[in-house]
A and B are shown apart, each in its own frame.
Chain A
Amino acid sequence: MNIECTVNGRSVSLAGEPMDRLLDLLRWQLSLTGTKEGCGEGECGACTVLMDGAPVVSCLVPLMQCAGRSIETVEGVAMGPQREFLERFVALGGVQCGACTPGVVVTACALLRSNPKPTREEAARALAGNLCRCTGYEGILRAVCDEEPRP
């Protein structure tokens, strides 16, 4: 089947089987390889993208449900107004191995759009579906909550 949707603000056409994963279509048809596959079963959040503004795991979204929807990937989110957050994220040690980073950035940007000054608790709750095994979340949460760097 062929469907039309919007990816990072541009109208695109995607082709495949109805139950093909959005994750694969983004990576292989649109070459948007910023979205990574982690577990492939909705547990880790590495493949998070925004669908009509809400974070979803693209490994669990079938092509047939993307028709007419607006998708934003890490490439689109990174070019948006969250530039300052991304700089903080890097400066405060939000990135270590990088495997979870695109998903964390997408979820964090979704949170910051609706809640520009989240508390630690709100940030931790929003990011509960993004597993990071390196940072202990300290740098990530500091960046999301716009806290001072650790002395």
Chain B
Amino acid sequence: MTAALSPRSLAEALRWFGDEPSSKLVAGCTDLMVADTLRRSEMPRVIDLLSVPGLADVHDTGAFLEMGATATFAALGQNAVIRQCFPALSDAARAVGGWQIQARATIGGNIANASPAGDSPPVLLALDATVVAASTAGEREIPYDQFHVAYRKTALRPGELVRAVRLPWPVPGSRQAFRKVGTRAAQAISKIAVAMSVRIEAGRIVEARIGAGSVAATPIRLRAAETAAIANAVSEALATAVGKAAASEVRPIDDVRSTAEYRSFALERVARRLVLELGGLS
């Protein structure tokens, strides 16, 4: 028997979750209903976050764009402000599954589920996101690059949930892009996914953040590739160096979707191409 709880406020959700931190939190269920097909009926206590009013809101807080945890990829992909200011996120939202999955899957679920192959994590890394974690003790901010601590493990504490994700507004001169490599454009879990954000001043990269998925046990920042990019003028040679640095700092695995060898190769090429694109050389 499963106890099904549909909280009518965030406070109620936090109280119920705090009372029983082993409760299963659910939102779009697009991963949970697959993964747990055989164990669905054995979940003792399920808390449905879709019933919490306002938890899907997307709004401007001044310093940030704040996306509520249950905002769906359909909502994010159609959002005009996101399209304009965060095109990498908009592209990633439209690359998740197909229409049916985008209508249900949520940004909070995508990161709390903590798959290394999710589509939004590389973008959130590249865009310097912050997770707003909430519990009955209050809220705290977790820099997104510290959120994924090990394979399928997050920095959330027992009884703590993802309330929202914040993105700082882009500064002048910054550009961003997202690229996913999969078997087909829709409905394919990524072989690799890469997001890149750079700020270019007078032809020189002065700031760079690169996030990647499916190349390690967690979504990761490619720090060596970022270092290779920063303080240099955009050129073919620089793009090649960034690609090589990216490929050399990851240890991907062989699995059903791809091989370690292909993933390293594709990452090198995609990182190279993104530098050229964002640098205006292609």
Interface set of A (CB-CB < 8 Å, partner B): 1, 17-21, 40-43, 45, 48, 51, 54-57, 59-62, 64-65, 67, 107, 110, 125-131
Contact = CB atoms under 8 A, between A and B. Distances in A.
Nearest to B102: A129
B104 A64 contact: no
B44 to A, nearest CB: 11
Given A1-B4, A40-B37, A62-B33, A129 B99 contact: yes
Interface string B30-57: 1001100100110100101010000000
* Listed residue (A1, A21, A62) with the most chain B CB atoms within 10 angstroms of its CB: A62
Contact of B4 (A56, A64, A125, A131): A64
A17 B98 contact: no
B41 A19 contact: yes
Contacts of A40: 37
A42 B30 contact: yes
A128 B98 contact: yes
A55 B99 contact: yes
Contact of A128 (B30, B48, B103, B186): B186
Given A55-B99, A60-B30, A19 B46 contact: yes
5 contacts: A18-B2, A19-B46, A59-B33, A65-B50, A129-B186
Contact of A60 (B6, B34, B41, B185): B34
Nearest to B94: A125
Contacts of B97: 42, 129
Contacts of B40: 17, 19-20, 62
Contacts of B137: none
B37 A41 contact: yes
Nearest to A16: B41
Contacts of A107: 99-100
A64 B100 contact: no
B98 A129 contact: yes
A126 B99 contact: yes
Interface string B103-117: 110000000000000
A17 B29 contact: no
Given A45-B98, A129-B186, A56 B103 contact: yes
A19 B33 CA distance: 8
A126 B99 CA distance: 6
Nearest to A131: B187
A41 B99 contact: no
B62 to A, nearest CB: 31
Given A48-B100, A110-B99, 8 more contacts: A18-B46, A19-B43, A20-B40, A40-B37, A57-B101, A61-B104, A64-B48, A129-B101
**Chain A to chain B: the 4 pairs with minimum beta-carbon distance, closest first:** A129-B98, A128-B186, A18-B4, A19-B40
Contacts of B98: 45, 127-130
Contact of B187 (A48, A62, A129): A129
Contacts of A43: 187
B41 A42 contact: no
Nearest to A52: B103
A54 B103 contact: yes
A60 B29 contact: yes
B46 A64 contact: yes
Interface string B169-202: 0000000000000000111000000000000000
Contacts of B33: 19, 21, 42, 59-62
Contacts of B101: 42, 57, 129
Nearest to A110: B99
Contacts of A55: 99-100, 103
A60 B46 contact: no
B205 interface: no
A10 B236 CA distance: 63
